[in-house]
Amino acid sequence: MGKILNPHQGFWQNAERKFVDQELESELITDDIQIVYDERYVPHIYAQNMEDALFAQGYLEAQNRLFQMDLMARSVSGNLSEVIGKNPAVLKKDIESIRKGHRTTAAFLQETFQKGENTSVLDKYTQGANHFIKSLDKKDYPFEYKLMDFSPTLWSTEKSIYVLISMADLLCGRADDFEHNNLKEILDEEVFTYLYADNFDIKEPIVPRGTPFNFDKKSDHFDPSMNSYGKIYKTDFSPNRIFGAGSNNWAISGEKSKTGKPILANDPHLGLSLPSIWYELEMHTPEFHAHGVSVPGLAGMMIGFNDDVAWGMTNVSHDIKDFFRITYTDESKTKYFYGDGVKEITKKQETIKRRGEEDYVEQVAYTEWGPIMYSKDSIDLAMHWLRSNYAKKDEPSVYVNCMKSTSYDDFIHNTSGYVAPAQNFICADKSNIGIRVNGTFAAKEIGDGKFIKDGSIPAAGWSDYISEDQLPHSKNPERGFVSSANQRSTTGEYPYYFNGTFATYRGERINALLSAEDKLDVSSLKNMQLDNFNIRARDFLPMFLEVIKHYEDEEYKSILKDWDYTYTEDTEAGTIFYVWYSNYRKMIFDEFSPYHQEMYLKYPFDWKIFELSTQYPDHIIFDNASTNKLENRDDIIKESFVKTYEDLKTESDLAWSAYRPLYIDHVAKISGLGSGAIQLGGSGESINAMRSRFGPSWRMVVALGEEIDAYGVYPGGQSGNPSSKYYKDMLESWVEGDYYKLKLEKDPNKISASRNLKIKSGR
């Protein structure tokens, strides 16, 4: 506390003072750089070449988000305990990162990237970040460093790679192999096959139904004998990262636009934090002129626009992680069967430094498939993750190349080096719209990767990958729009198999709205991003109410019967339905109850439960095994309604925003630095996809034309300093559904500046 309260170096020094213009010098840039901060503290970078612009980006993001960058890198490199220490949960997180092989993955990626033609992308960003870090006096350390009493260290290209791995772990680190193995064991074979079938007959795939796939596929051989069935019990470590609500993007053609030119919208839904995961900036060079958002720690803009194109991304959600059961030759676990022979386990000692304690050494066993991630009850499972095993040397330049694109086709070419996390890359220029499922995917046959595999069969792995020209892609479809909302990429017409965790309702709602109107404008697309309609409620609630129409209780029935299925801030019906549906689903699958605590399980997709409920109301799955009667769907609806009344009768306020408020925590969960409870509308199945700590992390709408008309907002602020007026100054606008005008200003003198910064070349 003495250090924190020290008036010369403590938190008092972090109090925001009046900004003053600043001039710096560096020998690492070739020409002078001018940076103008506007009234929202968004920097506009004016540089004479790309490398200098990236140097400036690294400097600015370190200046405003250094602790956030540090935390993201530590969270996947197994280095949190080094600065926190004496915290079992933190040590567990570090061990999990080590067991996933993230350090080995980082070394592999760094070695690959160094072979590329654009190694300067990460190098220049790193040089800029370190120019700021080296200038820091102890009194100027970001507040969190003082509170946690440790010093920042220099940035590195390796740390940028860890940020990339962090994003991949979040967005494509999930697999349902464990769950499917267990469900196959506890459910009747016919029931499991029906509920968890790979059903391609979906309403609204990302690539429109009927899109031709005129190519000969090349895929790996796979058959069910390569699987290794059997129950998998829980350990201290989860095989998956839990992800939140999802993301939306769409673009309309000039034929559907009131302006006669395309309009693009994107709102990625991620875990919300202060500071935000995004940092807004603008870059100018003689080569390009772009405005958008970046992830601090990575060079370039992930989402944005320039004079010619606008682009965005949503998560693809394909499963690119497999688990393999290792069969050892003996109890020493030093060798395992592989093909017609054996292979030796490779042991790697990984040290976790712990603050205030002795180092912790984790010994990780590596196989041909990857590290042993799971070990329990004589079952050892190796994790094979595409992000750990596949890379392209020019990956770091993809986000930079987005900014330089001059047309839709140019954008597709510029983003061809992308690997992971796979994203739905959407783009519009002044005449074209399109979307491509972008990333690297194994060329799989049906069923490959759904269950745990037998690690003794070499052919159970991947050897072929889908070529870029065969990735699902839609350009200028007849319907006049493209869109994605984490739903399935294609129907079964696509020759390759893919599995994963997919959404349904948001995509259906987006496409319905885009199809219903002939002409749309920026205002229309903003309203769509704020849309709170819930298709799951629209589908299930009429059936629910019909079943209980003779039920004596009128209070909840009267609230529900006039509801328009919209999750407004004050809806009580939305709360009642949410609890009712949760109870209904849980009661249908009472077979799971004995196993929830000890096994990995998952419910079927909601659309599958709806199909079950409407087409097979007397299905055996509705029977409650703990009673002497044979229950059907109607019995479960009635019982779940009674349970809902019991669950909610003690609630003093049934308003949705009171029942499930939104919380935006500090990135390190430091008490007092978050938002507190925020009461607003939205739901996980709405376009405005809100959950307790997840939501639209950046809303952007861009109308293409002679003059770009663009708007955006995110829940937070540009500064990572909690005492800054720019720490969360945009939060209220985001809550209210307001947007800020986004500028492409060629003349720095026309910007209403809050601060000017000049970096002079010392060459």
Q: What is the pLDDT of residues 446-499, one digit of tens each?
A: 999 999 999 999 999 998 999 999 999 999 999 999 999 999 999 888 999 999
Alpha carbon of 544 to those of 434, 519, 585: distances in Å?
Answer: 40, 36, 12
3-state secondary structure 244-306: CCCEEEEEECHHHECCCCCEEEEEEEEECEECCCCEEEEEECCCCEEEEEECCCCCCCCEEEE
pLDDT at 532 over 90: yes
pLDDT value for 12 = 42
Q: Exposure string (b/e) for 285-303, b if CB count within 10 Å is 16 or more?
A: beebbbbbbbbbbbbbbbb
Query: Position of tokens 């924190």?
Result: 4
Cβ–Cβ < 8 Å for 664, 272? yes
For residues 646-673, average pLDDT: 94
* pLDDT tens string 111-167: 999 987 767 899 999 999 999 999 999 989 999 999 999 999 999 999 999 999 999
pLDDT value for 18 = 62
Using CA atoms, how far apart are residues 47 and 438, in angstroms rounded to an integer? 30
Using CA atoms, how far apart are residues 363 and 358, in angstroms rounded to an integer? 16
pLDDT value for 300 = 97
Using CA atoms, how far apart are residues 460 and 221, in angstroms rounded to an integer? 8
* pLDDT tens string 598-615: 999 999 999 999 999 999
Pairing relation of β-strands 273-274 and 665-666?
A: parallel
Cβ–Cβ < 8 Å for 524, 252? no
Average pLDDT of the chain, as a whole number: 93
Pairing relation of β-strands 279-284 and 43-46?
A: parallel
Alpha carbon of 7 to those of 4, 15, 492, 670: distances in Å?
Answer: 8, 11, 66, 22
Cβ–Cβ < 8 Å for 228, 337? no
Tallying the residues shown for the chain, one arrives at 763
Using CA atoms, how far apart are residues 384 and 390, in angstroms rounded to an integer? 11
pLDDT at 32 over 70: yes
Tokens of 147: 């509170």
- Alpha-carbon Rg for the chain, nearest whole angstrom, is 26
pTM, two decimals, is 0.94
Q: With bands split at pLDDT 50, 70 and 90, how would you rate the model's confidence at 552?
A: confident
